[in-house]
Amino acid sequence: MSMIIQQPSSIAEQLILLFHGVGANAHDMAPLGKRLASAFPAAFVVSVDGAHVSDLGTGRQWFSVRGVTEGNRPARVEAAMPGFQASVRHWQGVSKVGVQDTLLVGFSQGAIMALETTQQTQAVAGRVIAIAGRFAEPPRPAALKTRLHLIHGEQDAVIPAGYALDAASRLERLGSEVTKDLIPMLGHAIDSRVLERIIERMRSWARSDIDHRQSM
């Protein structure tokens, strides 16, 4: 069941949605959500449960990884995308926060789904932070309406960091706004360094928005 981690008493300035990896659930992203809630008290923060019970035996998932290959992964992500986007829009409705002020933070399979929203015809979020994730297939169109930040452990043996490096390079060539952080001696996990990099990136984006408005 999805968890509302923080609901501001006044109008929310932004919506932060957290998406876990396969075999996990909303509770697994709660520590990250609480840290972001503390750093951004005006944010509406939700940890979202995967749409389906995991077929690995525990937790939940957005798509099955049983027998997954490079060839069939894109179709599985595509089939899961309408439900994923519907979940984002549901929480936008609850929080009364629009697309531009929505941030998707995904880990592993949650990051795959969040990244792939930027490849759809219509963006559902103004920002995406992908932790230990990858695109289902190399990004094709530029993510012109979404800022992206990729965070990856250099020692990740589940989804190697090369996927983040390749995606960032390709997105830059396509004209997307993308940044990346590689974390030394980190595997397929989230640690305190990842939390701090996320907060740093969010604050950098906020400063950029302020500078842009002042220059208009």
Helix (H, G, I), strand (E, B) or coil at 209: helix
Tokens 């993510």 belong to which residue?
143
Strands 60-61 and 147-153: unpaired
Report how far apart, in Å, the C-alpha atoms of 199 and of each of 86, 111, 128, 189 are. 26, 17, 13, 17
pLDDT tens, residue by residue, 106-119: 999 999 999 999 99
pLDDT at 90 over 70: yes
Confidence at 57, pLDDT banded by 50, 70, 90 = confident
Listed residue (148, 143, 75, 68) closest to 111, CA to CA: 148
Helix (H, G, I), strand (E, B) or coil at 202: helix
Beta strands in 11-162 (DSSP E): 14-19, 43-48, 52-53, 60-61, 102-107, 127-131, 147-153
Confidence at 120, pLDDT banded by 50, 70, 90 = very high
d(CA 149, CA 75): 24
Confidence at 213, pLDDT banded by 50, 70, 90 = low
pLDDT tens, residue by residue, 39-48: 999 999 999 9
pLDDT tens, residue by residue, 130-176: 999 999 999 988 888 899 999 999 999 999 999 999 999 999 999 99
Task: Check if the beta carbon of residue 158 is closer than 8 Å to that of residue 132.
Answer: yes
CATH of the domain at 101: 3.40.50.1820
Listed residue (179, 73, 178) closest to 135, CA to CA: 73
Give the residue numbers marked as catalytic.
Answer: 108, 156, 188
Sign of CA dihedral 167, 192, 44, 10: negative
Q: What is the strand order of the sheet 102-107 is part of? A: 3-6, 43-48, 14-19, 102-107, 127-131, 147-153, 178-183
* Structural domains in the chain (count): 1
* Residue 214: predicted pLDDT: 58
Range of the domain at 15: 3-215
Q: How far is CA 128 from the centre of its chain?
A: 5
d(CA 87, CA 215): 35
Beta strands in 1-81 (DSSP E): 3-6, 14-19, 43-48, 52-53, 60-61
- Mean of all residue pLDDT scores within the chain: 94
Mean pLDDT of 36-64: 95
Task: Check if the beta carbon of residue 104 is closer than 8 Å to that of residue 127.
Answer: yes
